[in-house]
Amino acid sequence: MTDTLRPDFGAAALPVRQTDASAASVIPKPEYPRPDRDRSDRWQTLNGSWRFESIDGVAEIAVPFAWETPASGIGRTWLEHATYSREVTVPADWTDARVVLCFGAVHHRAVVSIDGVVVGEHVGGTTSFEFDITDGAPAGSTVELRVEVEAPADKRAIPHGKQRSIPRDDYDGVSFTPTSGIWQSVWLEARGRTLLDSVALRGDSLSSIAITGRLVGDAPVGARVVARVVEGSDAAESIELIADRDGVVRGELALRHPRRWSPADPHLYAVEFTTGEGDSADRVIVTTGLRTIETRGEHLLLNGERLYFRGVLDQGYWPETGLTAPTGAALLADLDHARDLGFTLVRKHLKFEEPRWLHEADRMGMLVWAEPPCPSRYSPEASAGFEAQLAPMVERDGNHPSIVIWGLYNEEWGLDWDIPGSPERADAAAHAYDTLRALDDSRPIVENSGWAHVRTDLVDWHYYDEDPAAWAENVAGLAAGARSDWPVKLGPEFVVDKPLAGTPTFSVDGVPIVNSEYGAGFTSLERAWHVRWQTQELRRHDRFAGYVYTELTDVEHEMAGLLTTARHRKDWGGLDPAHVNADTVLVVDLVPKHAGADIEVPTEPLELAVHVSHHGTTPVAGTVRAAWVRAGRPFPADPPAAQAESHLLEAMPFALSDAAYLTVPPPSGPARLLLWFAETGGRVLARTFVDAAPIEPPNRRGARPVG
């Protein structure tokens, strides 16, 4: 069963334009696409070389890479219409099955035909879809499959996230190469004659799995479905369900020894659903977990215990393949990168990521903030198109215990940056919240991430600032409630004070507050410096429920990643981001001056006040210690002999400790002061450092006078 849930990943070459038989034999992304809803006993990938017709002529394209990407073999931007085609042979042993054609995603409108007969149409560039093609492509037949695609260059009224548009979006400066055509896997599945078309599993009771499913096919009414736990339990729990007159089945699968899902113990249950008997029976294995995620006052709770997430923004782009991961291994590796950097949550930004990625997040215990792409201009039609994604999102991804937050709009994109000034746009955000809440009441929802809120379960804010003093002051003001807005620079001469509340009737009091985007700096050294100091200021304030750093990797011209586009580590100046994002961190009472020079080189003993922020489940006690080392030295695995040590300090969970006071002798010159918090036995729980170097005023020689 383990191999079924996570097939082996081989190193797959990136295909280019196919010119010979050997090149055409390379199948990109050959893995089964739905390990969370597993029918891999009878399936066939349709990835690989397809015929591609456009205004440029006829070529070969590598599916599933968007036609803008080098990996597709096309590399063409601003193409608005093309047709894919290929022959498909349905396995002869699928005689007693229904044949279903599945698409991970096609941007933006797809019309699908078999031997010239249209079998279906789908609109929506990131939602998955499928068609039953049994009648047109029976077992043993060879047919021509055609997919006609329209991908408008003007994307402003359709959900497109950060794909670039012509005319340009307001946020064109942070937009990227478009993703058009087939950009996720295409495959065939053999399913039962009467089949389970959709199934929702919820483990909110923490003791059983609630089941809601819908049958279609030959005889759904009154059909018998057996649900049986096949992984995750030492007992063979099962239940029999009978479909009602609408083909709907409902039931509760009790578990004798329930085990909760959490990041510390990401326990999954695999439930096999069998409809019918014999060769024509339908079988699918669906995974889920037992867990609750809720808000209570200003706290976020996972399984009833306080949760503080340490997140990172991930846009899911790759240099040669765009929004599509080049290989199955590359797709999942980004989760490992996030974990290695100390993050406990990934905000997958404006993108429905592949189910394989979500399934791996379930398996490893990585929390996920999931959100759809948004349009960029407001209209009733654009809002309707945005909301049309929500039901498919919940149906496809709602079973994943790793998803703990649903996001909706981002920074009023698609709402013209004007919720506070437009009741119509405020109503659109509230309506999107209500629509999603009716689909799923088991998770918190953020209706407009980062800016003015009108109806939300989390009050989140995006704040970018290069000035560490202003950052610390504004973060403190937001934490204390002394301020409810902050400056947002939308252009060189366009600064807006964005409020937390978008309407007079919405109150931010009594709602968890989180930062969901921050970061600063141009060079990798500057960004690492801001990571260290800005994150400590977020950890200083116990009111917050989490943060999301921008971002995991660089994307095209956007160089804000901790990693490069090729997923290589940058020069962080000796910082280990995992120390910044740990359960236990140090918070220094200091406003730093410059990257590489937090303070001037002291000539007298240096006095510092240091706090401990601890997010474990039990208190910890120890002392803060300090020692000078050469400038730029990374924190060693074993700290050096301490030159100063505080009194014994106790840190309670989710409460900033009292200050530990240190007096450190001055160094002989520029140096790095290592600071660490260690238990009595010597185990180090937290690490940070302060750089001492000469601080010079900026060089302004030759500057022209202003005015």
Per-residue tokens: 357: 């990625």
Q: Is the pLDDT of residue 22 over 50?
A: no
Segment 470-525, tens digit of pLDDT = 999 999 999 999 988 888 888 778 888 889 999 999 999 999 999 999 999 999 99
In tens, the pLDDT along 228-255 reads: 999 999 888 999 999 999 999 999 999 9
Q: Are β-strands 309-314 and 544-549 bridged in parallel, bridged antiparallel, or unpaired?
A: parallel
For the chain, the structural domain boundaries read 2-30+47-184, 194-202+205-291, 294-581, 586-692
Given a cut of 70, whether residue 11 has pLDDT beyond it is: no
| Rounded Cα–Cα distance for residues 674 and 645 (Å) | 12
Q: Does domain 586-692 have CATH number 2.60.40?
A: yes
Q: Compute the distance between CA of residue 513 and CA of residue 309 in angstroms, rounded to an integer.
A: 12
Q: What is the pLDDT of residues 432-480, one digit of tens each?
A: 999 999 999 999 999 999 999 999 999 999 999 999 999 999 999 999 9
Beta bridge partners of 86: 145
- Region 567-579: mean pLDDT is 97
Residue 68: Cβ within 10 Å count: 24
Average pLDDT over residues 210-228: 98
Report whether 108 contacts 150 (CB < 8 A): yes
C-alpha 515/C-alpha 511 separation (Å) is: 13
pLDDT tier for residue 707 given thresholds of 50, 70 and 90: low
Bridge partners (DSSP) of residue 689 are: 674
Of 549, 521, 546, 597, give the one whose Cα is nearest residue 301: 546
At 96, the amino acid letter reads D
Q: In angstroms, rounded to a whole number, what is the distance separating the alpha carbons of residues 662 and 176? A: 48
Mean pLDDT over the full length of the chain = 94
CA separation for the pair 464, 527 (Å, rounded): 12
The reported pLDDT for the residue numbered 25 is 59
Q: State mean pLDDT over 585-609.
A: 97
**Topology given in CATH for the domain delimited by 194-202+205-291:** Immunoglobulin-like (2.60.40)
Angle at 532 between CA 529 and CA 534, to 5 degrees: 95
Single out the residue of 340, 389, 305, 449 nearest to residue 128, CA to CA: 389
The set of long-range contacts for 489-492, using a CB threshold of 8 Å and a minimum separation of 24, is 489/464, 490/170, 490/417
Which tokens belong to 225? 């479905």
- 296-310 residue pLDDT tens: 999 999 999 999 999
Task: Indicate whether this model's pTM tops 0.85.
Answer: yes
Amino acid residing at 232: G
Average pLDDT over residues 617-644: 96
User: In what helix (H) or strand (E) does residue 396 lie, and over which residues does it extend?
Assistant: helix 390-397
112: its two tokens: 């699908």
Domain 194-202+205-291 matches domain 586-692 at the CATH topology level: yes
Is pLDDT above 70 for 21? Answer: no
Question: Model confidence over 90-134: pLDDT tens digits?
Answer: 999 999 999 999 999 999 999 999 999 999 999 999 999 999 999
Query: Could you give the CA distance from residue 234 to residue 694 in angstroms, rounded to a whole number?
Result: 64
| Fold topology of 2-30+47-184 | Jelly Rolls (2.60.120)
**Which one of 3.10.50.40, 3.20.20.80, 1.10.10.10, 3.40.50.970 gives the CATH number of domain 294-581?**
3.20.20.80
pLDDT class of 9 with cuts at 50, 70, 90: very low
How far is the CA of 38 from the CAs of 268, 355, 414, in angstroms? 14, 11, 36
* Three-state DSSP state, 85: strand
Q: What is the mean pLDDT of residues 614-637?
A: 96
DSSP 143-183: EEEEEEEE--S--TTS--TTB--SSPPTTGGG-B----EE-
Q: Tally the C-alpha atoms within 13 A of residue 578's C-alpha that lie toward its C-beta.
A: 11
Strand runs (DSSP E) across 133-281, as ranges? Answer: 142-150, 181-182, 186-191, 194-202, 208-217, 224-231, 238-242, 248-254, 269-275
pLDDT value at position 12?
Answer: 36
Q: Which residue has the tokens 């198109």?
A: 385
- Per-residue pLDDT tens for 383-434? 999 999 999 999 999 999 999 999 999 999 999 999 999 999 999 999 999 9
Strand partners, 57: 54
Q: Could you give the CA distance from residue 312 to residue 342 in angstroms, rounded to a whole number?
A: 10
- Classify 115 in phi/psi space as left (phi over 0), alpha (psi -120 to 50) or beta: left
Q: What is the pLDDT of residues 524-562, one digit of tens each?
A: 999 999 999 999 999 999 999 999 999 999 999 999 999
Length of the chain in terms of residues written: 707
Beta bridge partner(s), residue 569: 563
Q: Give the long-range contacts of residues 52-55, CB within 8 A, separation 24 or more.
A: 52/82, 52/83, 52/84, 53/82, 53/83, 53/85, 54/79, 54/81, 54/82, 54/83, 55/79, 55/81
Tell me the two tokens of residue 508. 């931010």
Q: Which helix or strand (DSSP H or E) is residue 588 part of?
A: strand 584-588
Q: Which H helix or E strand runs over 95?
A: none
Nearest to 20 by CA among 72, 53, 60: 60
Yes or no: say if 194 and 245 are a contact pair by the CB < 8 Å rule: no
pLDDT at 44 over 50: yes
CA–CA distance, 496 with 405 (Å, rounded to integer): 27
Res. 23 pLDDT band, cuts 50 70 90: very low
Measured distance CA(131)–CA(106) in Å, rounded: 14
Is beta strand 485-491 parallel, antiparallel or unpaired with respect to 494-499? Answer: antiparallel
